[in-house]
Homo-oligomer: A and B are copies of this chain.
């Protein structure tokens, strides 16, 4: 693995490295870790990279690595730069034969995402989009449970992603995370909805298997002086008559990272909360509620997707980093299978890719369009 962005002090780069390290299948071998050459070099050394593979810009890295013999060069590139700087390195990597891992949102604009998709299809290379929450075992279980029909026909989806960390104008107080995420030139046309609303929308579609078809959005800038939405709510219509709501906020003072989804079918419902991720609550119309637990002993009751994505027995809580690690692990397993020419397990292929990226960008566009419209409902277009 080679990394672009994610130098010392970057939040998400460190997370990616832990996730990639976790299972001992992936090694960080090179990096262009910062646009600041000094930071890039210092960061590379702190990470024990070979001096010759500490790069100061990503073009050098991709081109130089491409010259190395196949068994020496990196197998894939991970891109953890701010949103506006995803597209160019991803394209260059693909053009030079490297598989790609990229943070969400996949690009800065939908058009870029579509170009990237074309390139992925053209090259036949693999792309992982790190929608972390899809890596949790009980999210996998939820998806399989809906798919199995146990809940009956799906009727309602409520998803919410509530944070409080932007309750103040932190972007003016030297908070680097806040600065770029609230800056339209770096983050894109939406703040809160782009940053976390997309996770919520992805989770809703991923678990329910239903696509959003229309939306009715209202976004807010709650904190004076902010340049992008920091809060919003969306009424949703999905395929097959399913309706729902999506709520996202970064000004909900006191909340941490409260992503929660509920899906209601004719016979029962499921509820999953990211802050207590090893539990999947099921409630039924005609029988007592059930509590499914990741890693539990009654493994025959859990789907193979849930068991494949857990490392420890029930009661040994796994968390955000393990979910993130699952994305990398499945990507690495699928990549190895491809390299070795063997058939992958279906569980390995269950990671977000370029199509999820396209929908994420479309979600941002459509939410922003709906917010600007006086019409109640806006069609979800790509």
Contacts and interface: CB of A to CB of B under 8 A. Distances in A.
A382 B17 CA distance: 44
Given A21-B21, A235-B235, A243-B218, A269 B254 contact: yes
A156 interface: yes
A78 interface: no
A293 B256 contact: yes
Contacts of A373: 376
A23 B15 CA distance: 10
Nearest to A25: B48
A305 to B, nearest CB: 16
Contact of A22 (B22, B269, B317): B22
B288 A290 contact: yes
A377 B17 CA distance: 46
Given A21-B23, A288-B296, A292-B288, A257 B375 contact: no
Interface stretch (A31-39, A80-88, A114-122, A277-285): A277-285
Given A243-B220, A288-B292, A253 B269 contact: yes
Contacts of A243: 218, 220, 231, 233
A8 interface: no
Interface in A280-309: 282-293, 295-298, 301
A165 B296 CA distance: 10
**How many copies of this chain?**
4
Nearest to A318: B319
Given A315-B258, A320-B316, A253 B285 contact: yes
A262 B162 CA distance: 11
A317 B320 contact: yes
B264 A317 contact: no
Interface in A206-259: 216, 218, 220, 222, 231, 233, 235, 243, 245, 247, 249, 251-258
A297 B231 contact: no
A149 interface: no
A266 interface: yes
A180 interface: no
A253 B263 CA distance: 10
Interface centre among A164, A289, A318 (most CB of B within 10 A): A289
Contact of A319 (B151, B167, B317): B317
A18 interface: yes
Given A291-B290, A291-B291, A376-B376, A235 B218 contact: yes
27 contacts: A15-B311, A18-B311, A22-B22, A24-B28, A152-B253, A156-B249, A164-B285, A168-B285, A218-B243, A220-B243, A233-B243, A253-B283, A254-B264, A254-B284, A256-B293, A256-B297, A256-B314, A257-B315, A257-B316, A277-B317, A288-B298, A290-B290, A290-B291, A317-B319, A317-B320, A319-B322, A373-B376
Interface of A: 11, 14-15, 17-18, 21-24, 28, 47-48, 151-152, 155-156, 158, 160, 163-165, 167-168, 216, 218, 220, 222, 231, 233, 235, 243, 245, 247, 249, 251-258, 262, 264-269, 274-278, 282-293, 295-298, 301, 311-322, 373-377
